[in-house]
Structure 1
Amino acid sequence: MTRDTERPVDPEAAVRQWLDALAGQPAAPAVADPVVPTGAELAERIDLLAVPGPDREEVAAGLPDPARDPARWEALVRCHQRLYADPGPDVPSAAPDWPTAPAALGSAGRYFYVHLYVLALPHALERQRRLGIPDDVVAATFADLGAKLTTYRLGHGTGGFDRQRWIVRHFQGALHRLGRLQFERGVLDADATGGDAATAGGPAHGDQVLKVHIPGDGPLDPAGRDASFAAAREFHARHFPGTRHRHATCSSWLLDPQLADHLPESSNILVFQRRFAAFGSGQVGDDDVLEFVFHAPPGTADLDRLPQQTTLHRSLVRHLRAGGHWRTAHGWTDLP
């Protein structure tokens, strides 16, 4: 009896399959096709997305030409249509299941979804204008794409972007950055969190909530945090008056109660934790910790080589070395 062996992946076939899958998405005829920007217009879009210096030239040079690269262009057009084929700004839709490009595409693949968002920016900005979102909030919100380019380079040692499903929220108008924190309009999914908080006076399964996200670009100081929460209710009541948000929720390794055994009681992380009431059940979140704190993609971290400059660094690594695991925990809080 012979043993079957895996056939090597044909790079060209992988690229064709990936492009065909993207181009095969349902079309949305009501959404106008994007137009390739040039010159000053392209520079303005790259600026608004806060594309970092090391990535700017490659992003600009790699924008596809519809005539010379029709397959990639068609894939981008269909992604653009899928991005905006949603029920509207008051009903956030699920993120499309867009796979990362095959390695055989090289730079064109690593920046494919950056090009999508560069092309999609005018439609997104028009949506923000219709909602009356202030310019400073728009700029802070869309700058998250550039932040994700920075973390990709830190983790992979080259330029690229792999947060295509995350940034959908920004472009569909579901997420906005208000000072130190980001707030995403959504509903509580008790299946995902392992339970709800209805019996404790918190949100029940299916309730409208503001999901809190913590950008990793600065300290989580109480003053900045409180200012963000204070702004959140007024902002959403003004710009999304059709939905009342009574609660905010957060799902993060930053809410792991084990951190209290490793950090001083006055640490910003523990002060942030105490704002929330725990609910549901957590899942192992080691990969999140290693990626967001140490910029180590899943499966690549060498604990002996990770930075140890801060108390948080040392605590996180010491716990993992001892055979422990960090967990993603869930919390809720009333909006002020």
Structure 2
Amino acid sequence: MDNMDFLTESKIAEFNRLLRLPQPALDVLYEAAAIVREHSGLRELLRQSGLSRIPVADADNDMGALAATVAEYPKFLEDHAAYLRTEMGDRAGMFAVILVLGLLDRTIAYYGSKRIPEEVLIETLKDLTIWMKHHYAHNGTWGLAELSWLLNHATGQLFRLGRLQFAHKAFNHAVVVLRNANSGEVVILSEPGVNYRRDGRVDGTNGKYESEQGWQARYDQSDDRFIVGNPIRSSGFASEETIRLSASDWVVVLRRGDPVLEVHIPEDGPMRPEQCRESFDNATRFYREQFPEKPYRAFVCTSWLLDPQLADLVPAPANITSFQKTFSLFPVLSDERETYRRVFGTDDLDPVTASRDTGLRRAIVEYAEAGHLLHGGAGLLLADAI
């Protein structure tokens, strides 16, 4: 990359009108950018990134191409991690931030071409600060370990619209959703071949398997008259008992590969029910107006917050319980590490030393002490139910 203007202090200051990095992080970014500007080897590394192959002028049409080009950035960083540590020292973690900076002119141009309000860009880019703070908390230095995640923001694949974030994707879960054409009732069935434990969780959840006692889901439409399968109960777990639905009354409304809006939850304060409802309304309006060429059939969320067990651990009414009730829950293969990471800042939990300074932390510790394990979950909300 021959144009290094995005590494100048004036350009970084211009970008920071949108990024709004805290001053300590901004100061370190200035230092890291200066190191790269003055280092021929690091400048060559930027040239090798491939970013220069997509000019800013193509932002309106080529954000998908840009996303494909930069998809290898995390692997690129991994391959050069040792070199970056040698040449940049404790500023090595900032090279990922610099790669994000190299995309921002294209991001800004894309938002402008789509007439997306600047406030949406500012809100979306807040995630950079969130994850840089995580890097500082875990490493004692400023940087970015979640480059692959931030590439969604920089390439126009994800937008923060109020409290929640949304990304247009293909549905990629092992369930089929059907609706009764007469009553409007909705049923979720498992895809065939999924192995479940007796408790209705996906086999392998929390690393626990039931190869002998477990069961495998079936889904059969070979008889034109009926659809036979294993339903997902309202509790969010799969049922071993099969049901039979009339094919003339029930219509598939969502299955693997269908377009959906993925819902993501930025780590940014409480999730009040009214804020979440507003976000869904914002997303409905935003994609209708800005991306009419991108229809979607449902909102889908995968998160530690959608573990059905949490509803029994937190007092009602609670933000977590309210968020869960937004969705029809279904099980996914997961474990307890994400929950512990989000709540305690570590993948592991020692009940003896774990903090109990909040109601949620105290409830989780006591649950673990009783021999129970939390895990992630997933949920869906059909778009026409908004």
Fold shared by both chains (TM-score > 0.5): yes
Letter in 2 for 1:53: Q
Residues paired across the two proteins, number: 300
- Give the structure 2 partner of residue 311 of structure 1: 359
Structure 2 residue identity aligned to 1:142 = L
After TM superposition, the structure 1 = structure 2 runs for residues 267-286 of structure 1, keeping only pairs within 5 Å, are 267-284=318-335, 286=336
Q: Does the residue aligned with 1:197 lie in a helix, a strand or coil?
A: strand
Decide whether the 8 Å contact of 1:247 with 1:334 is kept in 2: yes
| Letter of the 2:343 counterpart | V
Residue number among 344, 348, 370 corresponding to 1:294 in the alignment? 344
- Structure 1 residues 327 and 264: CA distance shift in structure 2, 3 A: same
2:91–2:143 Cα contact (<8 Å) kept: no
Q: Write the mapping of 1:177-196 to structure 2, written as runs, cut at 5 A.
A: 177-190=160-173, 194-196=174-176
Shift of 1:66: 6.3
CA pair 32-108 structure 1, distance change in 2 beyond 3 A = same
- Counterpart mapping for 1:94-109 below 5 A: 95-96=71-72, 97-98=74-75, 99-100=77-78, 101-102=81-82, 103-104=85-86, 105-109=88-92
Structure 2 distance, partners of 1:263, 1:82, is 50
Between the aligned partners of 2:34 and 2:176, the Cα distance in structure 1 is: 46
The amino acid that maps onto 2:365 is V
| Contact 1:251/1:328, CA 8 A, preserved across alignment | yes
Report the Cα offset of residue 257 of structure 1: 0.5
Alignment map for 1:146-295 (pairs within 5 Å): 146-190=129-173, 194-198=174-178, 200=188, 203-284=254-335, 286-295=336-345
Residue 326 (structure 1) aligns with: 374
Instruction: Report the residue type matching 1:79 in the other structure.
Output: S
Describe the shift of the 1:202–1:152 C-alpha distance in structure 2 as closer, same or farther (beyond 3 A).
farther
Distance 1:280 1:89 in 2: 33
Cα shift at 1:202: 5.1
In structure 1, what is the equivalent of residue 27 of structure 2? 57
Q: Is the 8 A contact 2:311 2:320 kept in 1?
A: no
Partner Cα distance (2:321, 2:272) in 1: 11
* 1:249 Cα deviation from its structure 2 partner: 0.1
Amino acid at match of 2:149: W
The answer (yes or no) to whether the contact 1:183–1:213 under 8 Å persists in 2 is yes
Is structure 2 residue 62 aligned with structure 1 residue 88?
yes
- AA matched with 1:291: R
TM-score, scaled to structure 2: 0.70
Structure with the higher strand share, 1 or 2: 2
User: Which amino acid letter does the alignment assign opposite residue 35 of structure 1?
Assistant: D
For 1:277 and 1:230, locate their aligned partners in 2 and report how far apart those are by CA, in whole Å: 18
Deviation at 1:75, TM superposition (A): 2.5
Distance 1:47 1:254, change over 3 A: same
Cα deviations by residue, 1:7-65 (Å, 9 ceiling, x for unpaired): xxxxxxxxxxxxxxxxxxxxxxxx98553442332212134223222211111111156
> Who is 2:105 aligned against?
122
CA distance in 2, matches of 1:173, 1:123: 9
Distance in 2 of aligned mates of 1:84 and 1:321: 54
Letter in 1 for 2:162: G
Shift, 1:196, TM fit: 4.2
Gaps of 5+ in 2: 179-186, 189-251
> 2:90 touches 2:141 (CA, 8 Å); kept in 1?
no
Residue 142 of structure 2 aligns with an amino acid whose one-letter code is G
CA contact (8 A) 1:95 1:165 kept: yes
1:247 Cα deviation from its structure 2 partner: 0.7
Report the RMSD for the aligned CA atoms in angstroms.
2.8
Cα deviation for residue 129 of structure 1 reads 0.9
Q: Structure 1 residue 230: deviation in Å?
A: 0.6
Letter in 2 for 1:262: L
- TM-score norm. by structure 1 comes to 0.80
Rounded to whole Å, the distance in 1 between the matches of 2:267 and 2:37 is 40
Alpha-carbon separation, structure 2, partners of 1:322 and 1:95 = 43
| Residue number in structure 2 paired with 1:69 | 39
Q: Can you give the 5+ residue segments of structure 1 that lack an aligned partner in the other structure? A: 1-30
Cα distance, 1:224 vs. partner? 0.3
Q: Is the 8 A contact 2:177 2:255 kept in 1?
A: yes
Instruction: Judge conservation of contact 2:7–2:37 (CA < 8 Å) in 1.
Output: no
Secondary structure of the equivalent of 1:110?
helix
One-letter code aligned to 1:73:
R
| CA separation of 1:209 and 1:111: change in aligned 2, threshold 3 A | same
Which of structures 1 and 2 has the larger relative contact order (alpha carbons within 8 angstroms, sep 6+)? 1
Structure 1 residues 280 and 89: alpha-carbon distance in aligned structure 2, compared to 1, 3 A threshold = farther
For residue 282 of structure 1, give the secondary structure of its aligned residue in structure 2. Answer: coil
Q: Give the AA of the match of 1:259.
A: L
Task: Specify the code of the residue in structure 1 equivalent to 2:136.
Answer: R
| Inter-partner Cα distance in structure 2 for 1:311 and 1:67 | 49
